[in-house]
Every structure is written in structure tokens, then in C-alpha cells.
Structure 1
Amino acid sequence: MTLTVDQGSNGAAISVVIPVYGCDGCIEELCTRVRLALMGIGASFEIVLVDDGSPDQSWSKIVAAHEHFPEVKGIRLSRNFGQHIAISAGLAAATGNYAVVMDCDLQDPPERIPDLYAKIKEGFDIVLARRTTRSHSIGRVLGSKAYFFLMGRLSKGAFDSSLGTFSILSRKVINEFLRFNERERHYLFVLRWLGFSVGQIEYDHNERFAGRSSYSLSALIRHAFDGIFFQSTELLRWIVTAGLVFSFGGIASSLYFIISYFLHGSSPGWTSLFVMMLICTGAILVSLGVLGLYIGKIFDQVKERPLYSIDVVLERIRK
């Protein structure tokens, strides 16, 4: 499924796309601060809140914000599809010449939106916000650095772990982003693949305004696995390389034992052989498991189901 949206004559100048999950305590403050930041720019704007099947009262808070603030557009997905799919749904609904993407927990300060807008007006197509400080735990920060380092090795490029989803895109980039139809997607990885001219600003990462992160340890690990396995095929090449190493190691060991037999006679070595059998069997099973994961994702993709399903849309008709 290819999603494309062209700005209409009544479209806003700036759309702010915010996926919402487990943030019912942040929405009122979020909308208030985003509106104040955008009103200072002096351009027309809209705030697109995408409820990604949130289990709390987020949707009722979005409805209240829609009734109170004329610029708020609410989209409720039929279930949880994941943050990056929710971003895609928000971008598909955005009408602005530019779209700001940010999290709902106010760790990304809305007050820096004018800086993003000023930077992209310098002629960039994408502007990313780089976190100079992090409010996450040390373990999560180190895990993020390790993950992006590994992704850089897999994709033969450098990834900056201090970059997040806080960014602004031009309409050209939005339309190109919406041409992507793969299910396993990561917002930053798609932008990196697209290319275009990229600028940066720096900001301090704030503490979460309310509630707690919906990314548990298991969810973070699953998200990391999806990125490592399904954003690049380089891992398959690593498996082939490992297989060749094991094969050459086996041939060398065979030659050693044959020569040793003729020179010294048979010698005990059942423990080492048993260990090598376990290592080789484990490597084979892991390799088959990785291949199975790739095949499973291919199966999901070829079914060509829509990326998401929308339950409700709240939007005021422009006159």
C-alpha cells in the first residue's frame, strides 16, 4: 500500500505529528505548549495526535483537546500498531508544507519547534534534533549506543545515538516517506535511506512530564532485534562468513588429526570433539532461526495488508 498526501489549498503551513501511547497525563500540557510555540512563529498550523491503541484515557483527552483547541486533529487507530506506524499515519493525515514529528511525553520541548522551523527555512529538507543531554537511565543510554553502533556496522555507515524522532520534514520528504510500504520500519532509518539535505539543532532532553515509558526492557529488546534483523541483509552475510569460518576450521582440524594419527597414533580428544559439536550445532540452529525470522517477515509483507486501520478521525472542516 502506498500512501501519498499532497497539500491542499486549505492546508496548514506546519503540521505537528505526535504518536500517543500511555500519555493521558501529558496531552493537555502538550497541546498548550505546542500551540504557544507555533503561535510565536506566526504561521498557520495543525496538531495531529495519533492514538496508537493506548490502553489509558489518552483518547478521551484527545477528544477534549480537539473540542478546546481548534487546531487539534485526532486520529484513533483501531489497535496498537507501534510508534513508527503511528508516525506514518500522522504524516499521511498532515496537510502542512512542513511536518514536525515529536514524542508525546514532553521530553522533546515544544519550545524548540521554532528553532527547527528556522533551520529548515535555511534550505534544508530535513532537520533533526540532537540530544546533548539524556534523561534516560544509564543502562538505556548505553544500550542505545551499542544498538546504533551495531546498526552502523551492519549498514556500513555511522548512526548517531543522540538523535531521536524530534525533527521537521519538508513536504517533499513527507511525500517520499509515505511511498514506503514495508511494515518493519524505523523513522530515522527511512530518513537516512531517503537522503536529501539534513540540518541539525541541539537541545536538552527533558524528564518525562507524567506517567512512565511504554517501552519495557522486553519491548526495547524486541525493537532492537527488529532493527538489526530487518533493516539490513548484512547479518545474513555475517552468517555466511561464520559458516565458512567453521567449515575451514573443520577442514584444518581434520588435517591435523590425520597427520597426528600417522605421527603419534590415536590420541584421546572426545571432550574437545563434544564441545565442538555443541558449538557447531548451536551455530547451525541460530543461523536457521535468523533465516526463519527473515522468511516470517517476508510472509507478513507479501500478504500486503494495510499498515494500519483507522477507527475515528476528529477534524474540523476548513471553510
Structure 2
Amino acid sequence: MNANSSNSLLVVPTGALKISEHPLTDFHRDNPILLSLVIPTYKERNNIENIVNILSRLLDEAIPGNYELIIVDDDSPDLTWELAQSLLPDYPQLRVMRRQEEWGLSSAVIRGWQVATGRILGVIDGDLQHPPEVLIQLLQKIEEGADLALASRHVDGGGVSSWTIIRRFLSRGAQVLGLIILPGVLGRVTDPMSGYFMVRRSAIAGATMNPVGYKILLEVIGRGQVREIAEAGYIFRERTEGESKVTWKQYVEYIQHLIRLRVSTGRLGKISQKVNFPVGRFIRFGVVGFSGVFVDMAVLYLLSDPSTLALPLTRSKIISGEVAIFNNFLWNDAWTFADVSMQQKGWNQTIKRFLKFNVICLAGLVLNVVVLNIVFNLLIPNRYIANLIAIAVATIWNFWVNLKLSWRVTDVK
């Protein structure tokens, strides 16, 4: 096992979120184990010892010595990782990872799978809302031939304990929205929002994951080679300890995730793979650029129109372009290139990306001004149409050079 001997914590993988085809083996064994179960945590100090105890007793009886529990903690302020680490002497199948430069449930699950030694990879919440006994049913379904086995609230034996009407409505609404946007993925399961499942390593090996928010199951089905899917009912329990992580942000991220998967796995995604061009990323860049058009146009009007400040066109264009650059950087960093910026946390890294983006876009702005004046003075004597043409030319320049320089996909510590 890839562990740091000084503190017994697993070393956090870096780079692409991709699962290797062949399981790692640790120093205790030559052959891979059967099951690696990841437990992503954040501020779960009051639950962690209980869930480790319950899962260990359950799996010791079902598959003794043939499993591992991998806790991946996002540097909880309540020191969940430290308490989990203290349990290592009593639970030989337990592994603990502390992440300090990445955050998010979905990426935590994948990082855990990357260090896993099992042929079957699983995930379960660390808050005891997922009944552990269902694990045995899921394992049996995998052993019977399923590539993916998930616990569902919407089949026989499933349900929720005491959700409010609003939460039920949001959950069902999210599922219906998903069926509209991505029917080929969500239509294959009854509970696409489930975060409790197992998958064969071979079904997702080699696929580069690009998750957003909490819903890792969408990535597994959408990007993996999952043929047969089986489901088992479970009752979603209410928390007894800790605090809920569900906020409006998760619903927004879910919609964002659906759109990203739709673009990357649909026809545009296939074209992108054939021509080796990031079509989906370019579309997001274009959407952001479109928002910048409104910013650019508004500022240009305020500065250059004869009815407002009536400044010279070139000077007005430079100012409006710089304001639009700042707007576009914020959106691109948070959305278009979010997978890269997530690996490069901190103000220093953000400022570096902005400076690069600004220099590149200023070069694009020079190109923009040249095209604007050529079109306005020689071809179309309308400042706004000329400006749109100039923006289109500069957008292609900005995307390609920023892709290569500002948001480079590199391994970072």
C-alpha cells in the first residue's frame, strides 16, 4: 500500500482522476483483495468510529480479510482524519487519507479508488445514512455478474425515512431534469442520485473522470464501460450526528454536471476525441465569452456613444475589453477550467492564472482592436457589428492560447 511510514496516512494521488486497470498490492499480500470501500468524510468525527466498527464487523463475517476500508477526509476542522488514524491499530483493514489541496466528495471517492487494492470498488457515506447491511446484497449482485450494483430508494424495499415535501420534490425534480438532459445515463437506473454503490474496477479502468459536486455515480455510468446494472432497495436514514452537506449549491452543481456529461459523451464529445480538440470546453469558453460580450458592449456604449461620454472608439474599446477580461476570467476559472483550477488552490496560483489570462487576452484585445477598426473603417460602418466580428476572432485566439498556457493540465502537489 502506498502509505507514508512517518504518519501511516496514505499519500494523496495527483494528476488525472483515472483508475488503473490493475489493482495495487500492498506489502501484506501478493494478490489484490476483493473489495475496496471508500468512505469520504468531512466533519464526521462523531460518526467515524461507529461506522468503522459496524462495517468491520459486517465484512469480517462476510469476506474476512478480503476487504479494505479507505477513509478519505478533506482536512476536516474537527480532525476527523486524526481520529480515524487513531483507529488503525484496532482495525487492520483500515486505511486513512487526508486531503489538504483538493476538496469535494466525488474527487475524494476517485482518489480513494486510485490507491485501492480491490477488484471491486465501492462507496458509502460516512454519516450512517446508508444502512451498512445492504453492502452484502450489493456484493452478491456483483459476484452474480453485474458490473455495477447500487442501492436505490426507488425499488422494492427502498424509501426515505422522514424527508420534507420540499426535499422530496427537489429530489424527484432533479431526476426528471436528468432524464431530459441525459436520458442515456439516468434512464439506466432508478436512483441516479444514489451515492451508495459498487462497481467492477474493470468497468471504469482507464476512463478519465471529471466530476462536479456530489454525484459520482453519473460519472461512473456516463464514462465507464458499464454493461449490466443491478439494484437493491434501501431506506435512506436521517442523521443522528453531524450536519447535512446538502445545500442549493449541490443542485446547481448537479445541473452543471449533467450538461458537462451531455456535451462530453454525446456527438460533440465523439467529434472532440476524433479531432483531438476539446469541443465541450470550447463551448463553455464560448458561453463565458458570450457573457463578456454583454459586459463589453455595455461599457463600450457608456464610454463611446455620442449620447453618453463620447470618448474615442479605440480608447473606449480598450477599457471595455479589460472589464470583460476580468469578468471572463472569473467564470472560466470557476467553470470552464474548474477541473484544473481545483488542483491549483490558493491565491498565488489564482493570481498567476489571471496574469497569464490577462496578458493573452490583452494580445487578443490588440487583435480585437485591429479587426474592429479594419471592419468598421473598410467593410461595415457599424461599430457594434464590427465589434461582434472582432470579438469572434479574438475568442478563438484566447481559447487556444489559454488552453495551452493559463490552465495547463499538469500534475501538481
Q: TM-score over 0.5 for the alignment?
A: yes
Which one of the candidate residues 210, 213, 227 is aligned to 1:182?
210
Deviation at 1:77, TM superposition (A): 0.5
SS in 1 for 2:33: coil
> Residues 62 and 154 of structure 1: is their aligned pair in 2 closer, same or farther, counting only changes over 3 Å?
same
Give the TM-score taking structure 1 as reference length.
0.70
Which one of the candidate residues 64, 81, 90 is aligned to 1:68?
90
- How far, CA to CA, are the matches of 1:33 and 1:110 in structure 2? 7
- How far, CA to CA, are the matches of 2:250 and 2:67 in structure 1? 33
- How far, CA to CA, are the matches of 2:251 and 2:139 in structure 1? 34
Check the 8 A contact 1:15/1:94 in 2, yes or no: yes
Deviation at 1:148, TM superposition (A): 2.0
SS in 1 for 2:195: strand
What amino acid is aligned across from residue 176 of structure 2 in structure 1?
F
Check the 8 A contact 1:107/1:207 in 2, yes or no: yes
Check the 8 A contact 1:53/1:80 in 2, yes or no: no
| Structure 2: segments with no counterpart, 5+ residues | 1-14, 267-279, 288-326, 341-406
- How far, CA to CA, are the matches of 2:45 and 2:120 in structure 1? 26
Q: Which residue of the partner structure matches residue 21 of structure 1?
A: 42
Q: Answer 1 or 2: which has greater strand percent.
A: 1
Which one of the candidate residues 148, 155, 164 is aligned to 1:137?
164
Q: Which residue of the partner structure matches residue 306 of structure 2?
A: none
Q: Deviations over 1:271-317 (max 9, x none)?
A: xxxxxxxxxxxxxxxxxx99x957863334452155x86xxxxxxxx
- How far, CA to CA, are the matches of 1:181 and 1:127 in structure 2? 19
SS in 1 for 2:337: helix
Superposed, 1:173-212 pairs within 5 Å as 173-176=203-206, 179-182=207-210, 184=212, 186-193=215-222, 194=224, 195-212=226-243
Q: Percent of aligned positions with the same letter in both sequences?
A: 23
Check the 8 A contact 2:147/2:199 in 1, yes or no: yes
Superposed, 1:199-278 pairs within 5 Å as 199-215=230-246, 217-233=247-263
Check the 8 A contact 2:211/2:219 in 1, yes or no: no
Q: Which residue of the partner structure matches residue 304 of structure 1?
A: 409
Q: Deviations over 1:90-143 (max 9, x none)?
A: 111110111221110011111121111111111111101112212443322211
Check the 8 A contact 2:211/2:257 in 1, yes or no: no
Deviation at 1:156, TM superposition (A): 3.5
Check the 8 A contact 1:128/1:166 in 2, yes or no: yes
SS in 1 for 2:36: strand
Deviation at 1:225, TM superposition (A): 4.2
User: What is the count of residue pairs matched by the alignment?
Assistant: 256
| Structure 1: segments with no counterpart, 5+ residues | 241-288, 310-319
Structure 1 range deviating more: 193-202 or 4-13? 4-13
Q: Which residue of the partner structure matches residue 148 of structure 1?
A: 175
1:100 equivalenced with 2:138 (yes/no)? no
Q: Alignment RMSD, CA only?
A: 3.1
- How far, CA to CA, are the matches of 1:231 and 1:120 in structure 2? 25
- How far, CA to CA, are the matches of 1:201 and 1:303 in structure 2? 42
Q: Which residue of the partner structure matches residue 117 of structure 1?
A: 139
Check the 8 A contact 1:129/1:163 in 2, yes or no: no
Give the TM-score taking structure 2 as reference length.
0.55
What amino acid is aligned across from residue 166 of structure 1 in structure 2?
Y
